[in-house]
Structure 1
Amino acid sequence: MKISIIGTVILTTFIVVQGCSSQVKTIPGSQQTTAKNSQEHDLASNSNNSSQHQQHQQKQAPASSTQAKLIVPKKIKSIQAVPLAINIQDQSGKTVSNFDTFQEKQMHLIVVSDDLRFFQHVHPSHKGNGRFEVSPDFPAPGSYTLFSDYKPTGQKEQVSVQKITIPGEVPLPTALEKFSHTKVLADTKINLALPEKKLIAGKEVKLSFNVQEIKQNRPVKDLQPYLGEKGHLVIVKSSSPLTTSDYIHAHPLKDSRDGQINFLSSFPSPGTYKVWLQFNRNGKVNTADFWLNAI
């Protein structure tokens, strides 16, 4: 179904980032500038992206660049099912029409509130001619950052960052954030184990998540694949404004035993980070979030 939207257009220009199905991808930062003013407002952000993956290396095609235009309604009347469209073009403005499927989808869209309290991982549908559509729900009015991750055919994996503001009264936090390494989700407990007490910025680190059945007090044995992997990990640094340099998406190591999901990653610079672990148990995707400090 085509959605006709007259609204706000956000333009993001960036150079590709190397993709990898078994390790982490990081994307250096972007800078936003206003492009033009008309009935539709264009905001442009430019980022030079480069990535080196540890343990998994392959030959890549030469880097190219694309443009991603995020289109939102001119007037957002609800926080529910907000219709968004993302148009992918090359640098000359020509439509990019063909995309590879990676991790079972053609596009992964990570939506976070700028205070990192809210997280959503959704998958826009490709409607043809480089246009992706999705209608995510937002928990409340406020400012949000969107990281769109896709792979044009014959090119490397690419990530863009865009901003959206949901109008209305922004609610005050109801509780302080907790720096705990344990999270309980219904009948499942997740413990995050780090090899050292202190997390050193720039140093590669193994993040081990132990997933346990609470009633039986034993490792979970019924984990199922989620998007082709045992789990997924998204890491975002607490920054203002959020940019692509604050975003990391990691995939698990293959040697994890039952009830354990391991990742190899690094935290590029000192600061506070929010991490979200996603895994599939009994056909339900679970999300466990943790705050970490890197020094």
Structure 2
Amino acid sequence: MDAELFNLYICYERILMKYSIVGIAALAALLVSQGCSSVTNSGDTSHDGHSSEHMHHHGHSTKDKGENSTITQAKLTTPQKILPNQSVPLVIAIQDTQGKPILKFDKFQEQLMHLIIVSDDLKIFNHLHPNYIGDGSFVIDTNFPEPNNYTIFSDYKPTGDNERVSVMNIKVTGYTPLPNELAKYSNTKNLLDTKVSLTFSQPTLKASQEVNLKFDLREATNNQPVKDLQPYLGEKAHLVIIKSSSPLTVSDYIHAHALKNSPQGQVNFITSFPQPGTYKLWMQFNRKGKIHTADFWVNVK
């Protein structure tokens, strides 16, 4: 174990031992004092610390913000240097624009926070649920499989308010090999025990037009419709959609939920794509207690 990795490990061990005792305020001070933290504020396209806020129009509330709605921001604290394939503690503090913590959150889709992590080339995807430890702060351990720039979408709901999405960025250092080829457009994805096919309610996807995205799930062995889907976060399935752009912003993010009346062996989502461009879709579902992810690229005119 080299010196850099050893120091990161020691910082992480100290955090695990102390944050549950001293609370999140002391945790932030601990991270800084031990020289193993990097703090990033959320922002639409930069690290300027301005609030990043998005009211969903794709499976989430469409109610406009009221006069008492609080503008929020997310502050991300990480080790100073993040290495690929190493466990990394993330601390996400939700605050108002004055830096005061947002203390109470409502569950939606069975969780207080959904954390979507993608590499900026959309090759890597992770859907996590951090633990709330009070004082507006959430913690989780994760790892980043390869050197890359990563964008983190933090999806949460302050109590009595609309859902929010804050965007943060992380850089994982190291050698990045050149890509072999661009991902091919394919409407079929073969997983271990499931074949997933994607079709649309219209022949061409067009920006701002509502569309039904139909995912057909069949047994890989006999091509029969899947009959044993189990609920995932209270729904038949979930769908995350992100537009390919640089840098990624909150307007590139869509989180949709399956229609409850989808036929057996099929999962349907009604949504729309806000702008023309190339999008990547990750559809997640539960079979036999295991979460499966089928990803697809689509082009929107």
* Structure 1 length-normalised TM: 0.86
**Residue from 257, 271, 277 that aligns with 2:283:** 277
Q: Report % sequence identity.
A: 52
Residue type at the aligned position of 1:110: I
Residue 41 of structure 1 is matched in structure 2 by none
Shift, 1:86, TM fit: 0.4
Structure 2: distance between partners of 1:57 and 1:71: 31
1:291 counterpart letter in structure 2: W
Per-residue CA deviation, residues 180-205 of structure 1 (Å, 9 max, x unaligned), is 00000012100001122211111000
Greater mean alpha carbon deviation, residues 164-173 or residues 70-79: 70-79
Return the structure number with greater helix share: 2
CA distance in 1, matches of 2:191, 2:255: 22
Q: Please show how residues 136-155 of structure 1 align to structure 2 within 5 Å.
A: 136-155=142-161
Residues 55, 164 of structure 2: 8 Å contact kept = no
Query: What amino acid is aligned across from residue 217 of structure 2 in structure 1?
Result: V
Task: State the shift of 1:118 in Å.
Answer: 0.5
1:49 equivalent in alignment to 2:54? yes
Q: What secondary structure sits across from 2:251 in the alignment? A: helix
Separation in structure 2 between the aligned mates of residue 171 and residue 75 of structure 1, nearest angstrom: 20
Q: Say whether 1:8 aligns with 2:38.
A: yes
RMSD, aligned α-carbons: 2.0
Contact map agreement 1:8 1:72 (CA 8 A) in 2:
yes
For the residues of structure 1 that align with 2:186 and 2:242, how far apart are their CA atoms? 17
Distance 1:45 1:55, change over 3 A: closer
Gaps of 5+ in 2: 1-15, 20-26
For the Cα contact (< 8 Å) 1:61–1:156, is it kept in 2? no
1:226 to 232, 235, 238: 232
Supply the AA of the counterpart residue of 2:54: N
Aligned pairs, number: 270
Please list every run of 5 or more consecutive structure 1 residues that lacks an aligned counterpart in the other structure: 14-29, 35-43
The one of 91, 95, 104 equivalent to 2:97 is: 91
Q: 1: distance between equivalents of 2:41 and 2:60? A: 34
1:67-146 alignment runs, 5 A limit = 67-146=73-152
Match among 168, 188, 191 for residue 194 of structure 2 = 188
Tell me: CA distance 1:105–1:87, structure 2 relative to 1, closer, same or farther (3 Å). same
Distance 1:94 1:109, change over 3 A: same
Alpha-carbon separation, structure 2, partners of 1:48 and 1:107:
15
Secondary structure, counterpart of 2:45 in structure 1? strand
**Who wins on radius of gyration, i.e. which is larger?**
2
Higher strand residue share: 1
Shift of 1:285: 0.1
| Alignment TM-score, normalising by the size of structure 2 | 0.84
Instruction: Check 1:160–1:56 CA distance in 2 against 1; reply closer, same or farther (3 A cut).
Output: closer
**Higher RCO (C-alpha under 8 Å, 6+ residues apart):** 1
**Deviation readout 1:248-277 (Å, 9 max, x if unpaired):** 000111110111100000111110000000
